[in-house]
Structure 1
Amino acid sequence: MSFFKSLFAKKQALPTRSLNHPGELQVGDIFSFGDSFALPKAMRKQQLEVSEINTVEFKHEHYAQVVGRGISPQPVYISFPKNPQKFVKYSLLLTRQDVGNLFDLEAFSDIFEAPGNACLTPITFEHPYAEMVAAQYLQQDFMTTGYFHREDYRDGTPPQFNEESHGRQFEFYSLAGDQEQRSIDLFIFENGDTDVYLSFLRPANEITELWIKGE
């Protein structure tokens, strides 16, 4: 009888994919940060679910932006632009109040003045995101054109020149500090919407655990 039971027993499904690096995350997967004090509280020991995967496209590069959401209302953005150390970019979206708390707004407005040589110094390091803030920022990008796609193009090329689905065009401004390990990234879209990210580059192992959806 046991022979027949084993013969007709339902076989367990083999894993359909592996997940060994944050760059392999898919929507619905879970990832967790470690307890490193190099991370702000919005990330430290947080467990998040991937809610969407977008693509940021520039003329000579495009990369994925993974959006993770957890218990906190603040989503965490992780992206994978090219850099010599192959670090991951971890980002938090700043509110206007955050920007005003961290920087002098008149000095911040210099970012948008040609030719784009702004130098920005924080007015305080007493902020929940202080671990991500550089002592000084120098402007790197001024009015650089790019496209934001609500699609995952890690295995393909974004349709930049397809008028029906080229993504949302934006002007990109950025400043970098601490040997380009920390940055402020600004995306200004055609309708005037502006996203300001506080970002830093850190090793991929700041994310200590990865789980495939449903496992």
Structure 2
Amino acid sequence: MSFFKSLFAKKQPVPTRTLSHASELQIKDIFTFGDSFALPQAMRKMQLQVTDINTLEFKHSHYAQIIAQGSGSQLVYLSFPDNPQKMIKYSLLLTRSEVEALFDMDDFSEIFEQPGHARLTPITKNHPYADMVAEEYIQQDFMTTGYFHRQDYRNSTPPQFNEDSHGQEFEYYSLQGDQEKRFIDIFIFENGDTDVYLSFLRPANEIAELWAKDE
């Protein structure tokens, strides 16, 4: 009798994955930014899908970098470094021409000169990302070593900092502005590739909606 009961019993529905915070996003999940005027036009009211999840590892910490794309070619980066307010770091990768439009390049080059005490003032406010730009930036990091992993280590520990199996090594430079809420993040990799991000810390509720992609 128990065999027939189990055979004809109703199949229980598979629990649906739900999202309560952007830090839980997985590849193919979708999210939408709100309409806050604190967001640049490249993010405001945009719907994006997660395309990749990487890990940034430093000597005493590591955190996820979520990459997402909307209907255009613009990529948006979310990362989750430790900060007292538990805010998300929202970033856009700048092209060389965008860096040159925002900053005097002689001043910008001082970021890479010892002792690493550069101060940087934008040369224009007429820029598509103006809402992310600080009045002035003061350098914080100089030649800080880290590793970039093309893997998601949110629920595990990446290879140890000094092991041969580490990710792609980089030198990290950073500048902060506007009460430590706006940043320039620079990564110089072993092969010479250089990524310059314009970043700012904003609350998680700048993301209005989250959708988990069904398997």
Q: TM-score, normalised on structure 2?
A: 0.93
1:106-150 Cα offsets, whole Å, 9 max, x none, are: 100000000000000000010000000000000000000000000
Q: Which amino acid aligns with 1:55?
A: T
Match of 1:169?
A: 169
Question: Who is 1:188 aligned against?
Answer: 188
Map 1:34-183 onto structure 2 (within 5 A).
34-160=34-160, 161-163=162-164, 165-183=165-183
Q: Is 2:214 the partner of 1:214?
A: yes
Distance 2:119 2:74 in 1: 28
Supply the AA of the counterpart residue of 1:106: D
Question: Helix, strand or coil for the counterpart of 1:176?
Answer: strand
After TM superposition, give the deviation of residue 9 of structure 1 in Å: 5.8
Contact 1:56/1:149 (CA < 8 Å) preserved in 2? yes
Unmatched 5+ residue regions in structure 2? 1-7
Aligned equivalents of 1:162, 1:139: Cα separation in 2: 29
Instruction: Indicate whether 1:12 and 2:52 are aligned.
Output: no
In structure 2, what is the Cα distance between the partners aligned to 1:56 and 1:149?
Answer: 6
Q: SS of 1:126's equivalent?
A: coil
Instruction: Give 1:96's aligned amino acid.
Output: R
Find the counterpart in structure 2 of residue 3 from structure 1: none
Which runs of 5 or more structure 1 residues have no equivalent in the other structure?
1-6
**In 2, Cα distance between the equivalents of 1:9 and 1:36?**
46
CA distance in 2, matches of 1:58, 1:123: 32
Corresponding position of 2:198: 198
Quote the offset at 1:57 in angstroms.
0.6
Q: Distance in 2 between matches of 1:13 and 1:143?
A: 49
CA distance in structure 2 between the aligned counterparts of 1:38 and 1:82, rounded to whole angstroms: 22
RMSD of aligned residue pairs (Cα, Å): 1.4
Residue in 2 that maps onto 1:21: 21
SS in 2 for 1:213: coil
* Matched AA of 1:90: Y
The size of the alignment, in residue pairs, is: 208
Q: For 1:125 and 1:115, how far apart are their aligned partners in 2?
A: 29
Pair 1:126–1:19, CA change in 2 (3 A)? same
| Alpha-carbon distance, 1:10 to partner | 5.2
**Is contact 1:42–1:72 with CA below 8 Å preserved after alignment?**
no
Q: Which runs of 4+ in 1 moved over 4 A?
A: 7-11
In the alignment, the residues of structure 2 paired with residue 181 and residue 14 of structure 1 have an alpha-carbon distance, to the nearest angstrom, of: 38
For residues 145 and 43 of structure 1, the distance between their equivalents in structure 2, rounded to whole angstroms, comes to 30
